[in-house]
Amino acid sequence: MKNPKVAFLLLLVFITMHVTGQKASSIYEWNWRKDGIWLGTGMGASIAGLLVGTQKTPYTETELNHLERKDVLVLDRWAAGYYSESASVASDYPFYASFGVPFFLLLDNKVSKESGTVIGLYLESLSTTSALFTLTAGLVDRPRPLVFSEDAPLDRRLRKTSKRSFYSGHVAASATALFFAAKIYNDFYPNSPLRHYFWVAAFSVPATIGYLRVKAGKHYLSDIVLGYALGALTGYLVPELHKKTDNRFKLNGSTEMTANGQLFTGLVLRYSF
């Protein structure tokens, strides 16, 4: 499947069908009312973004001939004219593979006991990334670097998707999935040396995808950086914001009677083991 936005929505629907009414985990809190609004908003915005994107019109040959590299942001201008079909195909493999990493965690007994909550949080992360990406790609017109390449086939340069350089959905989605997986594993196993491998993958794989997307002529550096930042923040912050606070310490008011019959009021700090 070549359209990452469609892939997002299909994955969101698939996960929704598998989210159960499990109780919130011992690590994360899940509220169907609040999180349901979050999910609904994210998925609704994703659909809206796709609909807006369908209204784009492709470049005409006249418009294409009037595009100039000097109009590209100075920091990105060096990539204008890049094109590589092989790099584009290569970027798809780690992109789609990254979606499966959080599901791989469900093979762990400790994580699988809280699969409903983990899958729900993953769905929230993806729907948030999907909403931001589809709306931005639908509303912002920015020519891909390949439109400036004479090596790129004309029909490819004239596609309406050639206006969707800003920003990289591949990088944003992979960063969301991998940072989410690293965060989840780190929260369940904060002392495990294996958590370092998850973080290494989270940082390196989206960066590798970004490099391939630039070589492919799909995006500029600024598209990659923004996609990376938004995806990583979403993948990390969604589970972090749902973490339970440590409720083993409780501070309560208390009224007690002394041995001589006098009442006194105070605060009692209790700790539950």
- The model carries a pTM of 0.81
- Per-residue pLDDT 10s for the chain (273 aa) are 555 555 555 555 555 544 444 444 468 988 888 999 999 999 999 999 999 988 889 999 999 888 999 999 999 999 999 999 999 999 999 999 999 999 999 999 999 999 999 999 999 999 999 999 999 999 999 999 999 998 999 999 999 899 999 999 999 999 999 999 999 999 999 999 999 999 999 999 999 999 999 999 999 999 999 999 999 999 999 999 999 875 444 445 455 555 555 555 554 555 444
CA distance 200 to 131: 27
Paired tokens of 152: 């790129």
CA distance 265 to 74: 69
Provide the 8-state DSSP code for 148.
G
